[in-house]
Amino acid sequence: MIILVLIFLISFSLAVQLMTVEENFVSVVEIEGESLKSTLDLVLPFTPMKGVVLSDKAYFVTTTGIVEYDLKRKKIDRELKIRAENLKWEDEKLVVLSKKKVLIVDPITFDYETIDLQEDPTDVERFEDYWIVSHGRYISLIRNDEEYWKIESNSDIIGISVNKGKKSLSGITKGGTLFIVDLENPLTPKVVYFTDIEELREVEWLGDFLFVFSRNKILVMSTIKLNSLKVVKEYTLSSMVSSIVKTDDSLFFTAGTTLYRVDVSLLMKKLGVARKIFLVSAPSSKLTVPGELLWKIDLDSEVRAPVTVGDGFIVLADVEGLVHVLSISGKKLWSYKTGFVITAPPRVFMGRVYVTSWDDHLYALSLSGHLLWKVRLDADVSKSFEVNSQGVYVSTDGGEAYLIDHESNILWQFKDDDWISTGIAVDDRGTVYFGTSRSLYSLYPNGTVRWKTDIGYLLTTRPVVIEDYVFVGSNSGWLFCVDRSTGGVIWKEKFPLTLNTELFAHGKHLVMNTEEGVYIVDLQGGVNKIISAVSPSPVVVSKEGYLFFVSNGILYSYTFDGQKRWEERVGETNSAPALGEERVVVATREGIVYCFFDKVYSQ
């Protein structure tokens, strides 16, 4: 007897629902934590093989094609007579894997577009505006019937998985090869890693970790360096892993007759009995529109620090010194208490959460909420800091700058006569930039002075690097453009800057919040656009060029040319919204966290 489990998520609910299938008998089971509760039993007039559930509609693969089934009225609404091997939900469309083709089906009209292939497709993923399809020994990047590139493997590719946040593709072959493709530039992919693993079955990303399934083993690999993966955890099960599905913040899989769940903390739990599972879920229970509220939660404490969105989770910090980690669906995963107020945004890097507090410490926490280490500094850290593969770069309120590696060792410490007044910025070469009470500094990666430029004003914005220029704002309203190599001032322009002004780079433009609204400025200091708003919060810009900010308690989204897309009331905040995983997240001074849907990605 084979039991199939179909999974779908209900919007505004923190519980996951499973639909267990035995032949044509189905039962909906709700999972919250580790408890299971049956909510619905149905007998279908067919045996489902694959499926996708959208609210009260279910789309199933059967022996005759695709069936649309109304779960409330318990009847078949429509049928699409096509050969179907698999069914996925991508980019608000039903994606059908068929014989030598992929069909992109509109769930409302049932109209479809076809991607024709030379071989049978084995998997398909959506990345930005492209479809990535594995077929035979090839992976292709396709848009509008045009194939932009094709990667050939040494044997048939049996599965692929895309990490949109890391802009990376993982794949596995029938011959036992795991490989990683860098998609930083989607049109020029780079195969950066490959290795051989016996009996590969499937590969999936969860946050910054790569899960590799092979028979009765699961390897969890750190991807801190895409060209040098390391196994950080290994699970050995009593039976062979038979099927795997992924939701927003968890992986579900079966081994023998046991259903397991593992979340971003890498904790694995047994949930119940199932022999086989497959995904029958959309990100929400209905087709969402930009600006739609997905959920909100009250933290009961003021939040001043900007929110951080990771892969599958959200990190917040409040004025009571608590670090909160939520799932992408709004469930509280854990909290950690530091010694005092937190105002700098938390940073997430390779399975760790880094937090600075007004208790003079830098904290490194695991994704399960455990303290890995903490380092005492010379003073509080209230300003934003940076993290990369070298370590954590911080500037303290005592006026010192540090680089601390990921094992808590202080690699260098810098102090000069000037008091450091801004957060730290680090460019792609490891060069460090920060502002002081009078000057703009640049340090070499080893912490020695590269150049120092006397500005003559208190600098208040964290420096931003665009191409060959460094930009920084002052308390007097002057915006400075400085040569990245020499530190020479190229130009300065006066703007209605405030102490809450932050600079954001998008392409060859600066976006900044001012007293009068949001300014979009080119690299020569020319004003391209002003979006009028009353003392707006700092602005965040998505990869697509959409602007998000809060003014007078209202969250706004604008196009880059100044056209309003949507607005929603949230309450007052001094921090920029956060973007990630098709979510826009805002935390208010009252401690209420709002999560809205929008089809956007962070830069």
pLDDT tens digits, one per residue of 39-74: 788 899 999 888 888 777 889 999 999 999 988 889
Q: Model confidence at 135, in pLDDT bands (50, 70, 90)?
A: very high
Give the pLDDT mean for 426-455.
96
CB of 359 closer than 8 Å to CB of 367: no
Q: Give me the mean pLDDT over the 571-586 stretch.
A: 91
Q: What's the token pair of residue 300?
A: 């009961």
pLDDT value for 280: 60
Give dist(CA 219, CA 234) in Å, integer.
Answer: 5
User: In the predicted model, is pLDDT for residue 2 greater than 80?
Assistant: no
Half-sphere exposure of 553 (CA within 13 A, CB side): 6
Q: CA-CA distance, 538 to 540, in Å (whole number)?
A: 7
Which H, E and C letters describe 60-92, residue by residue? EEECCEEEEEECCCCEEEEEECCCCCEEEEECC
CB 384 within 8 A of CB 394: no
Tell me the C-alpha distance between 108 and 98, whole Å: 20
Q: What's the length of the chain?
A: 603
CA 77 to chain centre: 36
Backbone angle region of 582, left / alpha / beta, with phi > 0 → left and psi within -120 to 50 → alpha: left
Hunting for tokens 């040098």 — which residue is that?
Answer: 228
Here the contacts of 568-573 (C-beta below 8 Å, separation 24 or greater) are: 568/291, 568/293, 568/594, 568/596, 570/594, 573/303, 573/537
pLDDT of amino acid 288? 65
Task: Tell me which of 39-43, 45-49, 276-280, 371-375 is least confident.
Answer: 276-280
- CB-based contacts of 265, cutoff 8 Å, min separation 6: 333, 334, 366, 367, 368, 369
Q: Which two tokens stand for residue 80?
A: 């699409």
Q: CA 162 to CA 181: how far, in whole Å?
A: 9
| Model confidence pLDDT, tens digit, residues 523-556 | 998 998 899 999 899 999 999 999 999 999 999 9
520-523's contacts with Cβ under 8 Å and 24+ in sequence apart are 520/560, 521/479, 521/493, 521/495, 523/466, 523/467, 523/469, 523/481
pLDDT of 282 above 50: no
Q: Are strands 308-309 and 313-317 parallel, antiparallel or unpaired?
A: antiparallel
Cα 338 from Cα 569, distance rounded (Å): 31
Q: Which fold, 142-236? A: Thrombin, subunit H (2.40.10)
Range in 255-259, 400-404, 461-465, 566-570 the model is least confident about: 255-259
For residue 561, what are the β-bridge partners?
none
The 10s digit of each residue's pLDDT in 351-360 is 899 999 999 9
For residues 77 and 68, give the distance between their C-alpha atoms in angstroms, rounded to a whole number: 6
**Do residues 215 and 199 lie in contact, with contact meaning Cβ atoms separated by under 8 Å?**
yes
Q: Is the pLDDT of residue 589 over 50?
A: yes
Query: Could you tell me the two tokens for 7?
Result: 């999974």
CATH class of the domain whose range is 313-534? mainly beta
What percent of the chain stands above pLDDT 90? Answer: 66
Give the pLDDT score at 15: 63
10-22 b/e (C-beta count within 10 Å ≥ 16 → b): bbeebebbbbbbe
pLDDT at 71: 86
Contacts with 161 (C-beta within 8 Å, 6 or more apart), sequence order: 125, 169, 170, 171, 203, 204, 205
Q: For the ranges 189-198, 260-269, 340-349, 553-562, which has the lowest average pLDDT?
A: 260-269
Residue type, 170: S
Q: What is the DSSP letter of 303?
A: -
pLDDT at 406: 96
Q: What is the pLDDT of residue 511?
A: 96
d(CA 328, CA 351): 16
Domain residue ranges of the chain, discontinuous segments joined by +: 142-236, 313-534
- Return the minimum-mean-pLDDT range out of 34-38, 566-570, 577-581, 587-591: 34-38
Average pLDDT, rounded, for the chain: 89
Confidence grade of residue 10 (pLDDT, cut at 50, 70, 90)? very low
CB atoms within 10 A of CB 551: 19
d(CA 441, CA 156) in angstroms, rounded, equals 53
Residues 6+ apart with CB under 8 A from 301: 318, 319, 320, 322, 591
Contacts of 365 (CB under 8 A, 6+ apart): 323, 336, 352, 353, 354, 355, 371, 372
pLDDT in tens, 455-485: 999 999 999 999 999 999 999 999 999 999 9
Tokens of 50: 């694959």
pTM for the model stands at 0.67
Which residues, in sequence order, are bridge partners of residue 211?
Answer: 204, 220
What is the reported pLDDT for 108? Answer: 77
Q: 376 to each of 345, 540, 574, how far by Cα in Å?
A: 18, 31, 28
